[in-house]
A = this chain, B = another copy of it.
Amino acid sequence: MKIYRINMNDLSIKTEEVPREWNHLGGRALTSAIVAKEVDPTCHPLGAKNKLVFAPGLLTGTSAPNSGRMSFGAKSPLTGGIKESNSGGSASQKLAKLGVKAVIIEGLPAEDKFYNLHIDNNGIKIEQETELLGKGNYEVIDRLSKKYGDKIGVITIGQAGEYKLCSANISVKDYHGNIRSAGRGGLGAVMSSKKIKYITIDDTGAPGVTVANPEKFKEASRLLAKSLKEHPVTGQGLPTYGTNILVNILNEAGGLPTRNFRMGRFAGANKISGEAMYETILNRKGKPTHNCHAGCVISCSQVYHDAEGKFVTAGFEYETIWGFGAVCYVDDLDIIAQADRICDDIGIDTIETAVAIATAMEGGLIPFGDGQGMLNLLREIEKGSPLGRIIGNGAGFTGKAFGVTRVAVVKNQAIPAYDPRAVKGVGVTYATTPMGADHTAGYAVATNILQVGGHVNPLAKEGNVDLSRNLQIATAALDALGLCLFVAFSILDNPDAYQAIVELVNAQYNLNLTENDMTTMGQSVLHNELEFNKAAGFTAKDDQLPEFFNEQIPPHNTTWDFTTEELQQVFNA
């Protein structure tokens, strides 16, 4: 295995051996370790001192189920703290098969020119890019697939990235030619600051990943797959309805943030629910069930067509549908699908952008519920107009632009699709994760609402700090392995599945790790990240939800009532 280091100051490329301490790190564990070690925490996120790092997970490139995620890391231009954001798509597995442990992109080019990178079995090439500048991700992927063939792996930024907007994501092509996103924290702006428009990855002739004990690996793999197939969430709910199964569940639970977090239930929920979407997809001959990377046994993705049966978008997620739906008070799934498509194409985080638009609605720019106005705002982002730059820099930025105080952000990152007053465990995660408000960093919704891994009352404080802490640690470990977060549903209810994951790592690397070692790895990831943020100037004051969550949210009329001291208990691991 090797690390590629690309210095944009002089366009030089180095192949480095993997330092021993990083040998058994991957994914988020590796990106965060590299960022923590090599990036000055006080640097400007878009300046020469920041670095963009990406790394496949420890299990990526093998046949282990759901192990194909790639982590991207850097200092975030959105939060000002350390950031890891991971995505599906094919690039991660291809990189792993090419023996690439991580890619580090550092420095800034002296000249104002864009470049592309091509990674294959012969190494990396860097070339100036002019042709695809200003193009959206769909066109970039299409053109590169024509040039290199359908199987080419692509990592790219759209116009939002080129404008260095703080919500710009990094987009990754999947095996179907669709778009997967490392969405949160504006890492697309970091890629753009390094002047990289796209990276192509060709694994033709790649050596592939060595597994020390193939028999043991196969057995653990089979066990994990079986467990995922048997669990009601990963075996039935997600494959049928996608993540959007959550609209009805959260609405029922009173935790679906509606009209910029005013209510926990949305009158239009049934029109945008997973069940409604499933029917629509079937009627229009789309695909209700679809995967984001090879080896996925859940397949929570889908392909959504318009009324004429034409492709609109794939990977149409609950958080996106909530964002452009309930929080903006729009109940038209076709409009929301268009919003998702535009965001994928221009390369911008749907959660951040939807909450930014809800914030602009709060400020009176357009009315709540104005679906066409919402789409127009997305077109402004595509154009890079001043208004587009406001929205495209996220909810916090939009709030300042329009003098709005009701702005749902933590560490300047938009709060996702679960109201923290009605799902308190995930509220603790929003407040305390080093990532800024992020449901995936400690998905307490599982235990609060879905009753996976036991049950902790979502409306009370008791148990939710412990729940969030445990999940934050476990998630950091899963992110290190390159596993899809949804594997957690299975391991929370089935100790054998957790053991199978440990055995996958042991079988691949010839190790004797235990579950405790996984916990230690997760803790160590969080430790690196928290230390980085502290050195960047973060304090306990940053681990808070916005003031307005002291308002009661109907229907349960609960408020956010954790003290700073209570929240800081998350870090007593």
Query: Is A539 part of the binding interface, using a Cβ–Cβ cutoff of 8 Å?
Result: yes
Query: Is A92 part of the binding interface, using a Cβ–Cβ cutoff of 8 Å?
Result: no
Query: Is A193 part of the binding interface, using a Cβ–Cβ cutoff of 8 Å?
Result: yes
Q: Is the CB of B163 within 8 A of A403?
A: yes
- Which of B47, B400, B537, B547 is within 8 Å of A541, CB to CB? B537
Query: Is A542 part of the binding interface, using a Cβ–Cβ cutoff of 8 Å?
Result: yes
Query: Is A165 part of the binding interface, using a Cβ–Cβ cutoff of 8 Å?
Result: yes
Query: Is A397 part of the binding interface, using a Cβ–Cβ cutoff of 8 Å?
Result: yes
Closest residue of chain B to A537 (Cβ to Cβ) is B541
A376-392 vs B, CB cutoff 8 Å, 1 = contact: the mask equals: 00000000011101100
- Which of B385, B402, B536, B542 is within 8 Å of A389, CB to CB? B402
Instruction: Give the chain B neighbours of A373 by CB distance below 8 A.
Output: none
Q: Closest CB of chain B to A369's CB: distance in Å?
A: 19
Q: Is the CB of A193 within 8 A of B403?
A: yes
Q: Is the CB of B405 within 8 A of A400?
A: no
A41-63 vs B, CB cutoff 8 Å, 1 = contact: the mask equals: 11110110100000000000000
Closest residue of chain B to A189 (Cβ to Cβ) is B403
Query: Is A164 part of the binding interface, using a Cβ–Cβ cutoff of 8 Å?
Result: yes
Q: Closest CB of chain B to A562's CB: distance in Å?
A: 14
Q: Known contacts being A405-B46, A536-B541, A547-B47, is A393 close to B400, with CB within 8 Å?
A: yes
* Bound CA–CA A326/B544 (angstroms): 42
Q: Is the CB of A547 within 8 A of B403?
A: no
Q: Closest CB of chain B to A549's CB: distance in Å?
A: 12
- Which of B44, B77, B403 is within 8 Å of A164, CB to CB? B403
Q: Known contacts being A43-B547, A47-B547, A541-B42, is A393 close to B386, with CB within 8 Å?
A: no
A486-503 vs B, CB cutoff 8 Å, 1 = contact: the mask equals: 000000000000000000
Q: Closest CB of chain B to A208's CB: distance in Å?
A: 39
Closest residue of chain B to A388 (Cβ to Cβ) is B386
Q: Closest CB of chain B to A386's CB: distance in Å?
A: 4
Q: Closest CB of chain B to A413's CB: distance in Å?
A: 14
* Bound CA–CA A541/B81 (angstroms): 13
Instruction: Give the chain B neighbours of A536 by CB distance below 8 A.
Output: 541
- Which of B42, B193, B390 is within 8 Å of A386, CB to CB? B390
Closest residue of chain B to A400 (Cβ to Cβ) is B393
Other 4 A-B pairs with CB < 8 A, given A43-B547, A44-B405, A165-B403: A42-B544, A46-B403, A164-B403, A393-B400
Of the A-B pairs whose beta carbons lie under 8 Å apart in the complex, a sample of 17, sorted by A's number, is A41-B541, A42-B544, A44-B547, A46-B403, A47-B547, A164-B402, A192-B403, A193-B403, A386-B387, A386-B390, A389-B401, A390-B390, A397-B400, A535-B541, A536-B541, A537-B540, A537-B541
